[in-house]
Each structure stands twice: as C-alpha cells, then as structure tokens.
Amino acid sequence: MTRCLLPLKNKNSGWPLLYNNRVKPEPLKQITRALLILLSAFFVSEAAIAQRQKVVNLQKYDLEAYHFGFILAANQMLFSVKPINNHQLKVWPATAGPDFASDSLSLYNVTSTPTPGFTIGIVGNLRLNNNADLRFIPSLAFGERYLDYTILTYRGGQEELINIRKSVASTYVDFPLEVKYRSKRLNNFAAYVLGGVKYSIDLASNKKNNKDNNNVAIKLNKNDFSAELGTGVDFYTNYFKFGIEAKMSYGLTNILVSDGTVYSDGIARLGSKVFQLSFTFE
C-alpha cells in the first residue's frame, strides 16, 4: 500500500482539488503501433517486388487438416474501471477504509495502472477452408495490475486527500477459441485477422478477505469471459511457420467481489483488459 498526502483545497472555491492521475503510455501499445507501421511498409515493399520469382516454402502447409505449435507472448494486464454514480458525493463510514485512520471518507477517484507480464501456450489449428482456421490456444498468463485510489478522509474536523495503491497479481489459465481469416499468400508471407472468445481461470484469485495489519486485499472472481480481436502476419520458413500477432482481450463480466469496503463498493464494474504481443511457431 502506498500512501501520500496531496494538496487539499482550492483557495478560490474552497472545494478540494480534483486529481487527474494520468497513466503513462503503455509500452505494449507502442510496440503494437510500431508493428502496424512495419506491416504497412512491408506490404508496400512486397507489392513492388511481387512479380519477382521466389522460392515458395511449405507450399502445402495450409492444406493440412490440422497442425500444432506453441506461442510465446508479452502481455499487459489492466482493468477497465467504472466507479459508482456520484461517488465523490457519497460519504462512507470509517469501517469502509480499515487500513487508514478516519472518522469518515469519500472516494475521490480510482484508476488502473498496468505492468508487463508474459504468456506461454500451445497452438491447435483446424483448417476450415482455404483462408479460415479454427484455433484453440490453451495458455498460462502471468501479470500484475494496480488500482490507484484517491480518497478524501475526514478526521477531527480536518480533511486529508490521500493516495492508496492496491496490487492485484494474477495467474490465468486461458482457453481462447478463435477464428483466423488469412489473406492469400504472397510468396512466403500472409496477413490475417482473428476474433473469438476466451474463458479464463485466475489461479491467484482470492475471494476471501485477507487482512494483514488491516491491509485489505482486492478480491476477484475466479472465472472470467472475454472477447478477443487481433491481427498479425505469418512468415513461411523452410521448416516452420513463424507468426507475429497483436491482440486485445476485453472482459465481458464484472470480476470484482464486494467486501463492504470503499475499494470494492465504490466501483460499479471492474472488467479485465489485456494487450498481448505474440510470437507463434507452428
């Protein structure tokens, strides 16, 4: 838990200053943008030399009924946070914030901060037709997210604006089922888009309210469902197909478990969100 005092009141209005915690640009998003720019440049260069004769690797690879592979990926887990309506106007009792001293309190703001993680998995690919495949990729994903709360406390007639950070570590077993639509091969290159759904089990979820010296843990549901959308490119080498893929998963359910504190009851919906940059070997 991180706690710090913040400036309290605006001299002109007498009302507390709003704190706007800006999240720094996520590295994975920057990597994804760079990947898309490189792909665009690659398409232009390939179009310019498309008429040149090249040796085509793995010519019958996409005609196989099924094949397998594995995936290595960097991920970035975060939350989509929706506070309750008029959360700044609601006054909570002292029991709603047991890990700091106050007579009462108000939730001023809550945001999510991501951190890098990684994913490993197995690829199962079933051919549907010349351009479409059905893919099942059971994976193990590791990551950590932060929830940053700005809370206005009242004690002995005095007001304090404090920041509290809650760390949420997750270890997911993911079961995504995706449909991959691939473009026509250009020599040893093909681009594709994909979409699907994912069921996840959080092995690190903690529905029980753990308290260590009054430090309240954030409790999440063990099960989650997500929608997925992504794009990527395949490169056909002499011995295997290598892919680079950027994908986003957006949680469809509220995974936050209520525990009677301002940390959970001040949030109307907490959804999972994952950005992933993958490297596939098939």
> For 6-43, how does the pLDDT look when each residue is reduced to its tens digit (9 = 90+)?
444 444 444 444 434 444 445 566 666 666 665 665 55
In-domain check, residue 130: yes
In-domain check, residue 217: yes
The more confidently predicted of residues 205 and 281 is 281
How far apart are the C-alpha atoms of 241 and 260, rounded to whole Å? 51
In-domain check, residue 57: no
Which residue range forms the structural domain that includes residue 173? 66-281
Number of domains in the chain: 1
137 in Cβ contact with 145 (< 8 Å)? no
In-domain check, residue 25: no
pLDDT of residue 12: 42
pTM of the model: 0.76
Q: How far is CA 61 from the centre of its chain?
A: 33
Write out pLDDT tens, residues 219-259: 999 999 999 999 999 999 999 999 999 999 999 999 999 88
In-domain check, residue 214: yes
How distant, in Å, are the alpha carbons of 60, 67, 78, 253, 279 from that of 241? 12, 11, 31, 35, 11
Categorize the per-residue pLDDT at 56 as very low, low, confident or very high, splitting at 50, 70 and 90. confident
In-domain check, residue 16: no
In-domain check, residue 264: yes
CATH of the domain at 261: 2.40.160.20
Q: What integer is the mean pLDDT of 200-228? A: 78
In-domain check, residue 36: no
Res. 125: pLDDT tops 80? yes
